[in-house]
Amino acid sequence: MTRRAFVAPALLCAAVALAYAPSQGGGFLEWDDGWLVRDNAWLRASASRAWPAFVARFDLETRTELGAEYLPVRDTLVWIEVALVGLSPAALRAFTLAWYLCGVLLLRAYLRRTLADRRAAEVATWLFALHPLHVEGAAWISSHKDVLAFALVAAALLVHAGGIGARRAAVVVALLALAHFAKSSSVIALGLLLAHDLYVGRRLSIALYAPAAAVAIVATSVHVHVGRIVAMTAALPPGGRLALAATMGPVWLRDLAHLAWPAKLSALYAVPDRAAGDVSAWIGWAVVAALALGAAVAWRRGAKLPALALAWLILPRLPTSQVLAPLQNRMADRYLFLCVLAPALLAGAAAARWWRVGRIAAAALALALAITTAERAAVFSGNLALWADTADTLVPQLRRPGRPPGVARATLGNLATALVAEGRLADAERLYRAVVARWPDDPKALNNLAELAFRQGRAAESRALFDEVVRRFPRYELGRQNYRLHFGEPPAR
């Protein structure tokens, strides 16, 4: 390779690093970073104690402490990073971004090897790398699993694109196995390899697909088993799986909108519920079906790229689409991490076909995405910025019918906690009072309001609030512990 060959990837890395610069000076976010990384004793344990727990312990306590998942590859990586740099949020954020850049470069190499027009591959890579939907994965320490699995899947695709053979198959299977235990939803990656082979017209290799499928099945079984241990899946709605599928209709529409243009992104989303008998529940599925039909028609006419883009749109979303299992969260930016390549592929192909105008349009789009990514990255620079932005985006949506209130309660509570950390106690108190008034049956909000009153020196008011906590919520142990800490033994239940 010549020196000139390194210019384009170096510029790409520089552009991505510049776009993510606003997030790099931040600390731990009180959105899993605290308990999963900063306060996680396993990450400070010796290798002889930590690594057997990462791999071989399936008890509820250990799995809950490790994120309520079985991800030994992710856990080992973070353990190594902590051993190298300590619990430095700046260094861990840099590691997260570095893994993202590694995945981007591997994806670029894969696309340049796969697509006939390297200009299309270059444009697709830039649009993918600078898309704001990736900020949650690349700027959040707790999202190590997303960027690590992305890099491993991209590496597997790159090796697979180089040809077939026993040695290559073994490397691909090993990379996929690592990805499956870095992030559970990566078990669908085998489908992306299949989509590649169909796109390039390659004969399917039993030496690859048989062991890779076996590894994916084993990994899926382990993840399902651990999910049952920690009770991460939600209960089926009364209407069964048909009603469950109906809840994804509005989600598909919003996913497609965010992929086309990422406006109003949020750390949490209030997704409206739709009954199976509601026609509007199936509009999103109808749009997806129409896209599939369009890709099939294009394939018959000799245009294979729309089908490849459709595979990248659908397959990575399947594990979190409520089809396999009911999940507590139906919508999140990180669920669309790999799906971003779908519109990027189509935009890259269009730019390459009409290159004189297309390169200008692609450059303008990449610049707009980079600016939006920088703005989104700034949101992830700290707790106050994150939860203030989430509240600004989320709370107005809750005025519409059908929006679940739980995410708003969590958002406002997190925002109030961030205000306390910033020393803005009066603002935090007003917010806690609003939460208590809106959700009077929430013991946590009332407990936090009592704690805040004590912190501001209003002991009598604090005790009265704690009396209300232990009287109304006798099973809320944290309230009783705080009462005992400040005022002695609480009244008997």
273 has pLDDT over 80: no
pLDDT at 112: 95
For the stretch 396-412, pLDDT in tens is: 655 554 444 567 777 87
pLDDT at 403: 47
For the stretch 54-83, pLDDT in tens is: 999 999 999 888 988 999 999 999 999 999
pLDDT at 76: 95
pLDDT at 42: 92
pLDDT at 289: 93
> What amino acid is encoded at 39 in this protein?
D
Task: Assign 166 a pLDDT band (cuts: 50, 70, 90).
Answer: confident
Task: Assign 280 a pLDDT band (cuts: 50, 70, 90).
Answer: confident
Distance CA 34, CA 457 (A): 27
pLDDT at 272: 72
What string of DSSP letters covers 383-435?
HHHHHHHHHHHHGGGGGSTT--SHHHHHHHHHHHHHHHHTT-HHHHHHHHHHH
Contact 148, 183 (CB under 8 A): yes
Q: Which structure tokens are listed for 454?
A: 């004590």
For the stretch 292-303, pLDDT in tens is: 999 999 999 989
Mean pLDDT calculated for residue range 234-262: 81
Distance of CA 205 to the CA centre of its chain: 32
Mean pLDDT calculated for residue range 190-195: 96
Task: Assign 164 a pLDDT band (cuts: 50, 70, 90).
Answer: confident
Kindly report the pTM of this predicted structure: 0.88
pLDDT at 19: 96
In terms of Cα–Cα distance, which of 132, 399, 377 is closest to 260?
132
For the stretch 111-152, pLDDT in tens is: 999 999 999 999 999 999 999 999 999 999 999 999 999 999
Mean pLDDT calculated for residue range 7-21: 94
What single DSSP character describes residue 3? G
Contact 154, 340 (CB under 8 A): no
pLDDT at 410: 76
Kindly report the average pLDDT of the chain as a whole number: 88
244 has pLDDT over 80: no
For the stretch 333-381, pLDDT in tens is: 999 999 999 999 999 999 999 999 999 999 999 999 999 999 999 999 9
Q: Which residue would you say has higher pLDDT here, 119 or 437?
A: 119
> What is the number of alpha carbons within 13 Å of residue 66 lying toward its C-beta?
36
Q: Phi/psi of residue 233, each to 5°?
A: -80, 150
What single DSSP character describes residue 271? P
Q: Which residues contact 155 (CB under 8 A, 6 or more apart)?
A: 106, 175
For the stretch 35-54, pLDDT in tens is: 899 999 999 999 999 999 99
